[in-house]
Chains A and B, each alone.
Chain A
Amino acid sequence: MTYFSDVGALARKDLLLELRARDTLPAMLLFVVSTLVVFHFVLPSESSDLAATGLLWVALLFTALLGLSRSFAAEREQGVIDGLVLAPSDRSAIWLGKALSILAFLGLAEVIALPAFALFFRPISAALVGGVVLADLGIAAVGTLLAAMATASRARELLLPLLFLPLAIPIVVGGVGASVSGEPGRYLGLLGLYDALFAIICWASFEYVVTE
């Protein structure tokens, strides 16, 4: 299983780097909590709890964007990406390793964000947690590939939200639907479908993003 050991090594590299430097994760945590506080002032007092749930998804999406825009910073600044591309392993392993580390960051940020949301606004349901988990998979898969694309361009961090937000609309629909609707199964199905479809496309096409 050399492919998976490559993936594991790459993901471990990112997590170790984060553990040593602590660049991204504290920023994501602080960002998501401060966004929730801002949302308290955004919502007028008579607006419904449902609006708060919608805003939670905005907060999660932008937190993910914050993490993603930093995700290839080390690779770009130190030229690591050239070394990785030249390494004798499948290029899609780079994508999978990076996506796993992003997934870990997102998961950790949400371990703080969801209880904070429950504390500040309204209790969270199991369907919401399920929606968040499935949405994270999609965000990590698509976001990693788009972050690699944005890194290659001149506009860099500026480009990532533009590339990512139109693609994230189905995630938002699925996530918000799962959290507010009485029958979340359909929305979770949409999220699952999205994850599977885009994970396959990203896995197959990542090679073309990093090579010429």
Chain B
Amino acid sequence: MAAAIALIFFYAPVDQDGLNQKIFYFHVPIAFTAYACFGWGGWKALRHLWKGDEGADLESYVAIHLGVIFGLLTLVTGSIWARFRWGHWWEWKEDQLVLFLVLFLFYCAYFMLRYSLPAGPQRANLSAVYALFGVALIPVSVLAIRLSQRFIHPVAFNEHGTNMAASQFFTFCVALVAMLALAATMYTVELAGKRLDVHLRELREALQ
């Protein structure tokens, strides 16, 4: 992580955008990490429904929880970027931002669902089914948002800096790996904490 930050600020060349382009190295890896978290949550949900794995429900929940945090960070960094790039805090033209808004709403509803159910096998099942919906929603929404640009913005939108220099690409990869490592660490810590909670509750019930 430290290496990535060092590379971002000292190694990567400053392009014509100046310093604010640096946020790219945070924004995009955070977005990919959020996808990874949602995907992992969906995979664990599938394991729960299919194989009935013990604890897969909790793992899926923790992964989605992290995904929402990273998704929110994506929205924040993305809108800071949009502010400096286009002068607005919000840009409907930016597919990625809109997609994350949709996903963010979707996964907030996931939490609403989860918290309005009593703990137990039914909560695990319903959360898992909803998490699977989320994984199916991602590609469909990507397609839908791409298509929606045609009637909302008829003017073609130019992609920004598609071709990266080698040093930029290297920094980007390091940043991505660092972000994924950060997510994995948080996942492990959070999961250990949650498991401890569950154990504690069981012990308390056993004592009473």
- Report whether chain A binds chain B: yes
Classify the secondary structure of A's interface with B: helix
Given contacts A159-B116, A177-B151, A212-B120, contact A170 B140 (CB under 8 A): yes
Contact (Cβ within 8 A) A155 B112? yes
Contact (Cβ within 8 A) B151 A190? no
Q: Which of A193, A197, A208 contacts B128 (CB 8 A)?
A: A208
CA–CA, A165 and B101, complex, Å: 13
CA–CA, A152 and B120, complex, Å: 12
Given contacts A155-B112, A209-B125, A212-B121, contact A163 B143 (CB under 8 A): no
CA–CA, A148 and B117, complex, Å: 13
CA–CA, A193 and B128, complex, Å: 22
Classify the secondary structure of B's interface with A: helix
Give the residues in chain A near B125, CB-CB below 8 Å.
208-209, 211-212
Can you sample 25 A-B contacts with CB below 8 Å? A142-B133, A145-B129, A149-B113, A149-B126, A152-B126, A154-B117, A155-B112, A162-B108, A162-B112, A166-B109, A167-B137, A170-B143, A173-B147, A177-B148, A177-B150, A181-B151, A187-B147, A193-B143, A197-B136, A201-B133, A208-B49, A208-B126, A209-B126, A209-B129, A211-B125
| Count, chain B residues at interface, CB 8 A | 33
Chain B 75-110 per-residue mask, 1 if CB under 8 angstroms from chain A, else 0 = 000000000000000000000000000110110110
Given contacts A152-B126, A177-B147, A208-B49, contact A166 B120 (CB under 8 A): no
Give the residues in chain A near B113, CB-CB below 8 Å.
149, 153, 159, 163
Contact (Cβ within 8 A) A163 B49? no
Contact (Cβ within 8 A) A149 B130? yes
Q: Does A121 contact B (CB under 8 A)?
A: no
- By a beta-carbon cutoff of 8 Å, the part of chain B in contact with chain A is 49, 102-103, 105-106, 108-109, 112-113, 116-118, 120-122, 125-126, 128-130, 132-133, 136-137, 140-141, 143-145, 147-148, 150-151
Contact (Cβ within 8 A) A205 B105? no
Interface positions, chain A 154-212, Cβ under 8 Å from B, are 154-155, 159, 162-163, 165-167, 169-170, 173-174, 176-177, 180-181, 186-187, 190, 193-194, 197-198, 201, 205, 208-209, 211-212
